[in-house]
Structures are given as C-alpha cells and as structure tokens.
Structure 1
Amino acid sequence: MADLIIAAPAATLSRAGRYQRQDRYFQWLTGGFALFVLLLLGGIVLSILDGAWPALRQFGFGFLVTETWNPVTEKFGALAPIFGTLVTSIIAMLVGVPLGFGIAVFLTERCPPVLKRPLGIAVELLAGIPSIIYGIWGLFVLAPFLQHHVQPFLIDTLGELPWIGALFQGPPYGIGVLTAGLILGIMVLPFITAITRDVFDTVPPLLRESAYGLGCTTWEVVWNVVLPYTRAGVVGGIMLGLGRALGETMAVTFVIGNAHRISGSLLAPGTTISAAIANEFTEATGDLYTSSLIALGLLLFVITFGVLTAARLMLRHLERRRGA
C-alpha cells in the first residue's frame, strides 16, 4: 500500500514534466514560425530596396516631389502615382465606410431574422469576386453610366461652386480618379461590413436591452453603447479596407486612365503606384526605368506600413482611453 501511495505522486510528476516539455517545444515551434515571417518580410524589404537603389541614388528626394515620368529621357518622378493612390483611397473610404457601417447596423439591429443570413452572405460574396471582374464591370458599365449621367450633372452643379468646384470641372471622360475611387469603395465594402457586423455581434445583449429599456432609440443605442464597446474592432476593419484600397491593381488599372499627371479635377485621368507598375514593368527596357518602378513598389510598401502602424497606434490609444 505504501508503494502505491509513493508511485502515484511520482507518475503525476512524470506526466507534468512531459507536459511542460511539450509546451516548451510547442512554444519554440510557434516562435520559429513567427521568426520566419519576420525574416521573410526583411528579405522582401532588402530585395526591393536593392532594386530601387539605382533610382533613389540617381534622383534622391526629387523622386518623391517630381511629377515628370518620361522613359525616353529617363526622367522619373513618383509624385503623380503617390497622389493618385492617396486620392483614390480617400474616395474609397468616403464611399465604403458609411455604407459598410450602415449595412452592419441594419444587419445587427433592424434586419428581420429571416433576411439576416442571406444578406450577410450576399455582402461577403462581394469579397470573393476577382478584381479583374470589378475592372471589366467598371470599364464597360460604370464608366459609361458616369460619363453620360453622373459626371455632366456634377459639372453643371458642383462644378459651379467656389472652393470645391475645381474638383468637378473638365470634360466627362467616364474613366478617371473618381471612377477608380468608386470601384475601390465597392471593393472594400464587404471587408468593412463583415468585420463591423462581427464586432457588433460581440456586444452583450444585456447592454442593448438596458439601453432600450431606458427609452433610447436605435441610433442612440448604436452611437452610445454599441460603437464605444466595439470601437477598436471597427477601426481595425476600416484600416483593413484602407490597406486593400492602397494596394489594389487590376480594377484601378482598367478605369483610372493611366495618365502620369496630377489634375485638380477628380474627373480627369490619373494613375496609382500599383497601376503604374502593372502597366509598365514588362515594357521597362533600361535599368533606371526598372529601378524606378521598383522604387514605386518600395514607396507603396512604406505607405501601407505607415497606415498599418498608425492603425495600431490608434487602437492602442483607444484601448488606453477605454481602460482609463
């Protein structure tokens, strides 16, 4: 009997030691995966930086502030693609964020139960459509509609106003920066909607019921209860959509016009960093030309990394305020 009493704790200690070793091995394995991602990212950055170095050495800081893009004279500047990337992404957020927020509120607060699942699936299916399909639809359907109906109206109304009138002047091409921004807004809509809806569903029903019991309207419940509770998740969804808008290539290439110039009108053709690379990389003949396109890729990486970093800092600030 005494031997059994002594053997039981020994077996327990042996099992505990084995579990500790397994946990330690698992920690090393997952840490190795994380380190591999960091090494892979570092290798990508170094390779892009190596390819972009000839252009950066040739043009210096002027590469960022020069609009000229002339392969014949080998004069390259990234200002027009940077401008187009930022403007189209801003338009996409102005379209996608309100629509995504409204759809998420409807699905979580006002939608009949029988329609909630079909509508949610329909919105998420938009994320599965290839970007080239969006581009074809934008070129053959959306652009002609904007050219014949929307852009003339904008020119005749908003184009006559002070301050903002310059944004809506010029001939109605159909394609241009505004069209590209609208396409991007539709493309980022399912990401923003899905994440916002999911984080809205994490709000405890007791909080909603308490607010409704106090006589709050649906808008007051969403604005004063749901949104403060899910603020970090909503910001994360918006930043995910913004990252998609910054790096989108094919759909934008179809409808933006691919003109290396900066125009004060949103109706004029333009270009983005990703569209410029997709259009010209196979045609780049000289080393400096190729290096300039790789430098554009480096700039896009820096912009995207900056946006994600700003999002993380914003989320950390929101969490600190929430904790306070």
Structure 2
Amino acid sequence: MDITTKNTDAPPPMPTPTETERKRAARGATRPGDRIFLGLSRGSGILLLVIMAAIAVFLTYRAVLAISEDEGNFLTTFEWNTGTRPPVFGIAVLAFGTVVSSIVAMAIAVPIAVAIALFLTHYAPRRLSGPIAYVIDLLAAVPSIVYGLWGALILVPQLNGLFSWLDTYFGWTGIFSWEGGPARSMLTVGILLAIMILPVITNVSREVFRQVPQMHEEAALALGATRWEVIRMAVLPFGRSGVISASMLGLGRALGETMAVATVLSPSFDIQASLLNAGGGTFAQNIASKFGEADTFGRDALIASGLVLFVITLLVNGAARAIIARRKEYSGANA
C-alpha cells in the first residue's frame, strides 16, 4: 500500500501580481496614501528648485542692469559710488571682509562648539547637561539685533585690552598690529559672529554625538580604551559628517548676518592687512546700510552684490556636500 505524506505546514502559494501592480511597485507607490505622499514630496522638491531658479534669475537680471553701466571693474574696484555719473562700484572690499570675518568666526566657534557638545554628551552628568543645553537653545533664539547692541555697548569697549596685548606680542606679524581707536574691526565682527553661530553648531553636533551606537563605545571600552580614546576612535569618526553639516549651517548664518555686523563695524572701502584696525565691510552689512538711501540704480548695484553672496553660499554648501559624500562610511545611516 502506498502511503502519501502530505505536508500540511507548507504555506499557500502567493498570488501572482498583475502587470499593473508590478508597475505601481516599481514606481514605489501601491496605495492611495503612498501615491499622495509621493506626489506631495515630488512637488515640494520641484517647487524648491523653481523658487531657487526664480531667485537666481531675478538677481542675475537686476545685476546685469547695474554691471552694464559700471565704469569700474565689478570684481576688483575698491569704491562704491553708485550715485555719481558714470557710476563706479565694486565688491573687492566686501568679498574680502565677508570671507575674513566668516573664517575668524568659524575658527573660534567650531572647536568650542564641538568641545561643548562632547562635554554635554559624554562628560557632564544628566542634571547638569540638561540646564546647559537649555541655555544654549535660548542663545540660538536671541535676535541678531540684540547681539549687535550687546556687541556695540559691551563687547567693543572690553576688547581694547585684548587688542593691546595682541599688538604688543604679535604685532610683528602685521595681522595683529593695532593703530589704536575703537575696537570696531574684522576681529570684533568675527568674535561676535562666533558667539552667534556657536549655539547652532553646538546643538546639531550634540544631537549627532548622541546617535553614536552604544556598542561602538562599549567595544572600545572593552578593549581598554580611555574615555578620550573612545571619543577619538568611535564618536568623532561617526559624527564627522554631522559636525561638517553643523559647521555649514553656522557658516551660512555668518556669511549672511546683517544687523549685528552693521552695529559693531566701522565700515570703509579699503582692505586692512590687520584684523585689529577699523575698516572693511561685508555684503550683508553694505546692503543693509545703503539700501534705504539708494535710488533704483543703486539698488540694482546692491542686488548685484547680493548675487555674489548667493553664489558664494551655493559654492560653500556644494563643497560641504562633496566632503560629506566622501565620508559616507561615517554617516549614521551606514552605521
């Protein structure tokens, strides 16, 4: 007698998907809610590109109108006389001041912000890290004009001693020579910008360091690593991309900061070799100080300088994206 054994545990055969279902699955949307969300996401991305393109077209059009009548070289001229006929203006001083003040701010803010973030996540007790993080969040919400008033009334008078010390011991470099007068220079602007961008970089870096997988740190400790070695071998490599992103956010604010810079800086259209002597200017400060009194042509010239700032910002963000793309192995998504 033949006995046929039937396997009752085998799952029933799956229905074969239809051609329409396969096409929907290939598009990534198989349910009405998924299709709606896909359409909204795609539309938002397209809308963002349209807005960016519209801004670029507007700035370029108005900039061409102004540059076509400029008697000077727009990139190298050390003047800004848009009210004369023929007009002569250029962005050499503004570009130099914007870049220098931003570099000073980043050189001061990034190391301090990363150190604070590491302290809050790996050293400070919970009852201490919470209040400190709350205060840092409050600093990020302070309006820029308040920072500017504080800088003009409190920071500038207090920097005379620092400037005198730098001139005494490092004045031979030329970068830190000081001729006296109020401390309304590029170094003052850089210090104020560093204070303003410090909360942004700290908050983002802190959240990135909190995402470090616990098993990475435990593995390092199990191998006998000290706390600093754990941070150096596990925490910093994992959070490198996040710190770069946080730094770019801070740099974006430093490049475009307006009122705080206009409040503490004594602008002039000359390039100072020393960071301590008054003078110089930035794109945002120049636009804010001259826009109200400018005529139609003068506003077109200011828009032309705004186009340069727009391009610089795009280049900086593009460079940051390239750096992050080279460090994909350290990103949280690949941990």
TM-score by length of 2: 0.85
What is the distance in 2 between the residues matched to 1:110 and 1:39? 46
Q: What's 1:101 paired with?
A: 114
Q: Does 1:229 align with 2:216?
A: no
Q: What's 1:35 paired with?
A: 46
TM-aligned CA distance change 1:151 to 1:318, over 3 Å: same
Q: What's 1:168 paired with?
A: 177
Q: What's 1:124 paired with?
A: 137
The alpha carbon displacement at 1:292 in A equals 1.3
Q: Does 1:86 align with 2:99?
A: yes
The alpha carbon displacement at 1:140 in A equals 0.3
Three-state SS of the structure 2 residue aligned to 1:168 is coil
Q: Does 1:276 align with 2:286?
A: yes
What is the distance in 1 between the residues matched to 2:43 and 2:52? 14
TM-aligned CA distance change 1:165 to 1:36, over 3 Å: same
Identical aligned pairs, as a percentage?
Answer: 40
Q: Does 1:263 align with 2:272?
A: yes
Three-state SS of the structure 2 residue aligned to 1:290 is helix
Q: Does 1:110 align with 2:127?
A: no
What is the distance in 2 between the residues matched to 1:304 and 1:85? 11
The alpha carbon displacement at 1:54 in A equals 1.8
Question: After superposition, where does 1:146-185 map in structure 2 within 5 Å?
Answer: 146-147=159-160, 149-160=161-172, 164-185=173-194
The alpha carbon displacement at 1:43 in A equals 1.1
Question: What number of residue pairs does the alignment pair up?
Answer: 305
Instruction: Map Cα deviations across residues 97-123 of structure 1 (whole Å, 9 max, x no partner).
Output: 011011011011110121011111111
Three-state SS of the structure 2 residue aligned to 1:107 is helix
In terms of fraction of residues, the more helix-rich structure is: 1
TM-aligned CA distance change 1:104 to 1:112, over 3 Å: same
Q: Is the 8 A contact 2:63 2:304 kept in 1?
A: yes
What is the distance in 1 between the residues matched to 2:287 and 2:203? 30
Matched letter for residue 153 of structure 1: W
The alpha carbon displacement at 1:320 in A equals 6.0
Of 182-191 and 166-175, deviating more is: 166-175
The alpha carbon displacement at 1:167 in A equals 3.4
Larger radius of gyration: 2
Three-state SS of the structure 2 residue aligned to 1:34 is helix
What is the distance in 2 between the residues matched to 1:61 and 1:313? 35
Question: After superposition, where does 1:186-201 map in structure 2 within 5 Å?
Answer: 186-201=195-210
The alpha carbon displacement at 1:177 in A equals 0.7
Instruction: Map Cα deviations across residues 61-105 of structure 1 (whole Å, 9 max, x no partner).
Output: 921122122245321010101100000000000110011011011
Q: What's 2:303 paired with?
A: 294
Q: Is the 8 A contact 1:176 1:266 kept in 2?
A: yes
Q: Is the 8 A contact 1:170 1:265 kept in 2?
A: no
What is the distance in 2 between the residues matched to 1:108 and 1:255? 34
Q: Is the 8 A contact 2:113 2:201 kept in 1?
A: yes
Q: Is the 8 A contact 1:172 1:267 kept in 2?
A: no
RMSD of aligned alpha carbons: 2.2
Q: What's 1:240 paired with?
A: 249
What is the distance in 2 between the residues matched to 1:210 and 1:172? 57
